[in-house]
Chains A and B, each alone.
Chain A
Amino acid sequence: MSVLEQIKEFVIAGSAKKVKEYTEQAVAEGLDASTILNDGLITGMNVVGIRFKANEVYVPEVLMSARAMHTGLAVVKPLIVNAGIKEKGVVAIGTVQGDLHDIGKNLVIMMLEGAGYKVIDIGVDVSTEKFIQVIEEQQPQIVGVSALLTTTMTQMQHTVEKLQAYRDKIKIIIGGAPVTQAFADEIGADGYAADAASTVDLVQKLTSI
């Protein structure tokens, strides 16, 4: 098995130690950063994403794989920066004001980073003003708004309405347990994703437009 296949398989298996080991080996063998990233780390996370959508693996396994992938990413990141390799896009994500839940948001962040995006984690309990500040200062292409509670969906609606002023610069996507496509359509979001893996697909679709 090649070193890239080892990286991929250990990302899938969720072994951070082995991913680090084989990523370091790949670097030592002179493979370029882009190849290690795309054909090793990202390819592994893509398999995990497909399996997650198919209910073949669950959230804990995705977390373990994402952690493993990030361990490899930490090894190769300085090389990526030096080589001037660009991310596929920039996404900013936060949980709305009044909501402290973050596991869904964090899973989305891990999978988007695993897919090659730069992600700005705005955090939890994020006011509309804070979302706007991030948009103005960091210019993401996509803004993700998360709410886990039915009661905070009202805040989500308020935030999305205020962000409409930035529609020439950003696409707005929403997600969370009580959120639906119908709600996304109702409040004028550009997209809705039911889970972290689907969010990657949605972001890829929106950033290719």
Chain B
Amino acid sequence: MDQMTPRERVLTALKLGQTDRVPWVESYIHPSLVNKILGREITPIKGARLSPEIHEKLCVDNITFDLRPPIYAQIEKHGDLEMVREPWLKGWEDLEKLKKWLPDPDDNTLYEGAKEFLKHKGDYAALASIRLGISPVYNSMGYEDFVYALADEPEFVEAAINVYGGWCSKIIDRVNDMDFDFVFISEDIAFQNGPMVTPRVYEEYIFPHAKKIVDKIALPKIYHSDGDFMALMDYILQYNPAGIANLEPPVMDIFKLKESHGDKVCLMGNIDLHYTLTRGTPEETAAEVKEKLERVGKGGGYIIASANGLASYCKPENVMAMNDTILKYGWNK
């Protein structure tokens, strides 16, 4: 088989075609980790989640730009990580404030960074990281209040989803017309022990809104959630994703998924972040990557990736071991 470009590799995998090598896609590589791997500091374009400089060292096949909405909350930075300290979306009056607070998605300057970033994509697959409006709502409300509101005042939750969803929808319109190759729908909807909303509630209050927005996406789409989202899989598959990610181990069994869903959707992810890439050894990393390449990559339909993204606390030597193992064992003979 002739060697494919990274873009061809990714798009072929998303169509469940046979690729020359199992592609490697990450939704993000933290800048501090990039600097450690490159041995120098880079200055990424604002909004870049995976900058092209990393290709000097890693065989990752994509670049990523962030077009997700901001969370309406007090955000705190702890080291390299940003977390919600205090949600702001408490009631109807806050919803009115949110509408004015969100950046204007019709403002062309919002997309200048993405346009500049895309000039550097070369042969790599350009990924737009987007949302549908669900996770911004529960992050802006606080998850517990979100759950109670779905029971006590679901119309508020639906109204909030419509505000964020409307914003995301306009972003999607722009993304469709830009030089992106695929999109990453970053909408966490599960914990390790199951979905964040029950299937019945998801069907009634979440799915109809999400479906309207996701149907506007013209590019191949990957749906991402952390945790065990098997209880919601039927709904997620109705979004017609080309791929599902990041299949967090151990709660998402990628081998079983390959058997049950491997003919319907590309599987992406499943290289462990709780231990392997962050606290394990290069040898352990190589062993896990090799196994996934051989058992899940066989026959196509797999994009190898970490179980979320390459966070700042991944060990650089383990990321290099992942890289080297992909280059040694990832080729389809």
A60 an interface residue at 8 Å Cβ cutoff? yes
Per-residue CB contact flags for chain B residues 73-95 toward chain A (1 = under 8 Å, else 0) read 00010110101110000000000
- Surface stretch bound by B, among A85-93, A98-106, A113-121, A128-136: A98-106
Asked if A98 and B147 sit within 8 Å, CB to CB, the answer is no
A63 an interface residue at 8 Å Cβ cutoff? yes
B191 an interface residue at 8 Å Cβ cutoff? yes
With known contacts A100-B76, A178-B274, A58–B194 Cβ distance under 8 A: yes
B231 an interface residue at 8 Å Cβ cutoff? yes
**A residues less than 8 Å from B144 (CB atoms):** 63, 103, 106
Restricting to A149-205, which residues have a CB under 8 Å from any CB of B? 149-151, 153, 177-178, 180, 195
Asked if A100 and B278 sit within 8 Å, CB to CB, the answer is no
Among B76, B79, B194: residue with most chain A CB under 10 A: B194
CA distance A178 to B197 in the complex (A): 22
Restricting to A66-81, which residues have a CB under 8 Å from any CB of B? 67
Task: Determine the interface band of chain A, counting residues with CB < 8 A from chain B.
Answer: 20 to 34
Interchain nearest-CB distance for B174 vs A (Å): 32
A27 an interface residue at 8 Å Cβ cutoff? no
Restricting to B141-155, which residues have a CB under 8 Å from any CB of A? 143-144, 147-148, 150-151
Asked if A151 and B313 sit within 8 Å, CB to CB, the answer is yes
Nearest CB in chain A to that of B85: its residue:
A100
Task: Determine the interface band of chain B, counting residues with CB < 8 A from chain A.
Answer: 20 to 34
Interchain nearest-CB distance for B144 vs A (Å): 6
CA distance A58 to B273 in the complex (A): 24
Asked if A60 and B198 sit within 8 Å, CB to CB, the answer is yes
Asked if A150 and B143 sit within 8 Å, CB to CB, the answer is no
Asked if A55 and B193 sit within 8 Å, CB to CB, the answer is yes
CA distance A178 to B251 in the complex (A): 12
A14 an interface residue at 8 Å Cβ cutoff? yes
CA distance A60 to B274 in the complex (A): 24
Asked if B273 and A63 sit within 8 Å, CB to CB, the answer is no
**A residues less than 8 Å from B5 (CB atoms):** none
Asked if B194 and A150 sit within 8 Å, CB to CB, the answer is no
B183 an interface residue at 8 Å Cβ cutoff? no
With known contacts A64-B151, A103-B143, A177-B274, A59–B191 Cβ distance under 8 A: yes
Nearest CB in chain B to that of A182: its residue:
B275
Among A52, A55, A67, A149: residue with most chain B CB under 10 A: A149
Interchain nearest-CB distance for B291 vs A (Å): 20
CA distance A63 to B79 in the complex (A): 31
Nearest CB in chain B to that of A104: its residue:
B191
Per-residue CB contact flags for chain A residues 22-58 toward chain B (1 = under 8 Å, else 0) read 0000000000000000000000000000001001001
Asked if A64 and B147 sit within 8 Å, CB to CB, the answer is yes
A21 an interface residue at 8 Å Cβ cutoff? no
**B residues less than 8 Å from A195 (CB atoms):** 193
**B residues less than 8 Å from A59 (CB atoms):** 147, 191, 193-196
CA distance A111 to B139 in the complex (A): 23
Asked if A150 and B198 sit within 8 Å, CB to CB, the answer is no
Restricting to B268-310, which residues have a CB under 8 Å from any CB of A? 273-275, 278-279
B35 an interface residue at 8 Å Cβ cutoff? no
**B residues less than 8 Å from A125 (CB atoms):** 78
Interchain nearest-CB distance for B252 vs A (Å): 13
**A residues less than 8 Å from B196 (CB atoms):** 59-60
Interchain nearest-CB distance for A13 vs B (Å): 11
CA distance A59 to B194 in the complex (A): 7
**A residues less than 8 Å from B83 (CB atoms):** 99-101
Restricting to B171-221, which residues have a CB under 8 Å from any CB of A? 191-198, 201
**B residues less than 8 Å from A61 (CB atoms):** 198
**A residues less than 8 Å from B85 (CB atoms):** 100
Nearest CB in chain A to that of B86: its residue:
A100
B18 an interface residue at 8 Å Cβ cutoff? no
CB < 8 Å neighbour of B79 from A14, A98, A106: A98
**A residues less than 8 Å from B278 (CB atoms):** 150-151, 178
What 10 pairs across the A-B complex have the smallest Cβ distances? Answer: A58-B194, A178-B274, A100-B83, A151-B313, A150-B278, A98-B78, A60-B147, A63-B147, A103-B143, A195-B193
| 25 contacts across the A-B interface (CB closer than 8 A) | A58-B231, A59-B194, A59-B196, A63-B147, A63-B148, A98-B79, A99-B78, A99-B83, A100-B85, A103-B143, A103-B144, A103-B191, A106-B144, A125-B78, A150-B274, A150-B279, A151-B81, A151-B278, A151-B311, A151-B313, A153-B279, A177-B274, A178-B275, A178-B278, A180-B275
Contacts from A to B (Cβ < 8 Å): 14, 52, 55, 58-61, 63-64, 67, 98-101, 103, 106, 125, 149-151, 153, 177-178, 180, 195
